[in-house]
Amino acid sequence: MRWTILGAGAIGALFASQLKRIGEQVTLFDARKSQPSPLKLTLTTLDQQAIEQEFVYETDLTLPETDVLLVTTKVWQVIPALTPLTGKLSTTCTIVLLHNGMGTTDWVLSRFSENPIIAGVTSAGALKTTKHHVQHTGFGETWLGPLNEQAKQSTPIIPTLNTAMGHADWSDQIKERQWQKLVINAVINPLTALLNEPNGTLLSHQSQVRQLCEEVAPLLAKEGIDQTAEQLFTTVMAVAERTAKNYSSMQQDIAHQRKTEIDFITGYLLQKANEHQLALPQHHELYLKIKEREQAFTH
Ligand code: KPL
């Protein structure tokens, strides 16, 4: 299959490298670049092999050579990055949304109404140490679910991703998995960013983690997601433990004075809570604190 990766951050670079490693045709896309030179990238695999590869940039907005467009940008870049492709992208191209946060799907479904659209959630671990090096830091599962009728035919994607990443499968509960990941990110990311600590620090902040899970559980119930506060707490703590030495993406964004994904993580939770007339005061407080930090360097 022919893949184009939109957003060569840690996860995008990992998927690009792992797909190329198994012989897939992989290009990168960045609408802001006109004729960029190929990107040299070294992948360090889970078994510590170093694999050097070179990726060319696709610049034709129809992506004529692409079967699957994998969107791995920061969530706030999704709409600006896809906008130049609207009305141009070949309608046979499958779009896979594999980013943190929620709140982009309605826009993508309406602008690319003829394309197969898939939502994905991955727990694969990746670290981009430089522009030219990505490390596969942890095995993770990748779950995909169709967001429209056309996407139900896109099955060849699964075995290919499964071979490349060690796991990929269809999920008929993709909405539940997206919400679960949203809660993981809404708890781990702002807390670790504000504490300026790796994820494992939350093992000694369990009561705050529990309170945040208890506060958000009624919202998930309103959204039809069958997850108790206790289940959410167990899931969040398991991720914090499994990724104890890793720094969350929001900790890294704040530490490097970059815009964070808070609007599409906690901001999305607050917006949904508002629609259901629920209050999330502790999540709101985290939101305000991150916005305050972010505004200190984005203005
Ligand atoms: O997805 C993550 C992130 O950092 O954005 C977690 C799961 C918290 C791992 O660090």
Contact by Cβ (8 Å): 173, 268? no
Which numbered atom of ligand 1 lies nearest the CA of 249?
A: 4
Catalytic status, residue 175: no
Contact status, residue 199 vs residue 188, Cβ threshold 8 Å: yes
Expressed in angstroms and rounded, the spacing between residue 34 Cα and the centre of ligand 1 is 32
CA angle 265, 267, 272 (to 5 degrees): 100
Assigned fold of 176-294: N-(1-d-carboxylethyl)-l-norvaline Dehydrogenase; domain 2 (1.10.1040)
CB atoms near residue 49 (< 10 Å): 10
**Probe ligand 1: pick from 123, 135, 184, max atoms within 8 Å of CB?**
184
- CA angle 210–247–16, rounded 5-degree value: 120
What pLDDT, on a 0 to 100 scale, did the predictor assign at position 299? 66
- Whether ligand 1 lies within 6 angstroms of the CB of 17 is answered as no
How high is the pLDDT of residue 131? 93
Amino acid 156: pLDDT: 86
The answer, yes or no, to whether any atom of ligand 1 lies below 6 A from the CB of 122, is no
pLDDT at residue 153 in the model: 80
pLDDT in tens, the chain (299 residues): 999 999 999 999 999 999 999 999 999 998 766 656 899 999 999 999 999 999 999 888 889 889 999 999 999 999 999 999 999 999 999 999 999 999 999 999 999 999 999 999 999 999 999 999 999 999 999 999 999 999 998 678 999 999 999 999 999 899 999 999 999 999 999 999 999 999 999 999 999 999 999 999 999 999 999 999 999 999 999 999 999 999 999 999 999 999 999 999 999 999 999 999 999 999 999 999 999 999 998 76
- Single out the catalytic residue among 20, 74, 128, 181: 181
The C-alpha atoms of residue 193 and residue 201 are separated, in whole angstroms, by 11
pLDDT confidence of residue 272 = 98
What's the rounded Cα separation, in Å, for the pair 66 and 2?
5
Q: Which pLDDT value is given to residue 33?
A: 61
User: What is the predicted pLDDT for the residue at 35?
Assistant: 54
Domain with CATH 1.10.1040.10 in the chain: 176-294
pTM attached to this predicted model: 0.95
Neighbours of 106 (CB within 10 A): 9
Query: Which residues, in sequence order, are bridge partners of residue 5?
Result: 28, 70
Centre of ligand 1 to C-alpha 42, Å, is 22
Dist CA 273 CA 30 (whole Å): 34
pLDDT of the residue at 298: 75
Q: Is 73 in the pocket of ligand 1 (CB under 6 A)?
A: no
Q: Is 249 in the pocket of ligand 1 (CB under 6 A)?
A: yes
pLDDT at 212: 98
Residues of the chain with CATH 3.40.50.720: 2-172
**3-state SS, residue 236:** helix
Residue 171's contacts (CB-CB under 8 Å, 6 or more residues apart) are 121, 143, 144, 145, 177
pLDDT given for residue 205 in this prediction: 98
184 Cβ below 6 A of ligand 1: yes
Report the CATH number of the 2-172 domain: 3.40.50.720
- How remote is the CA of residue 182 from the centroid of ligand 1, in Å? 10
Q: Check if 180 has its Cβ closer than 6 Å to any atom of ligand 1.
A: no
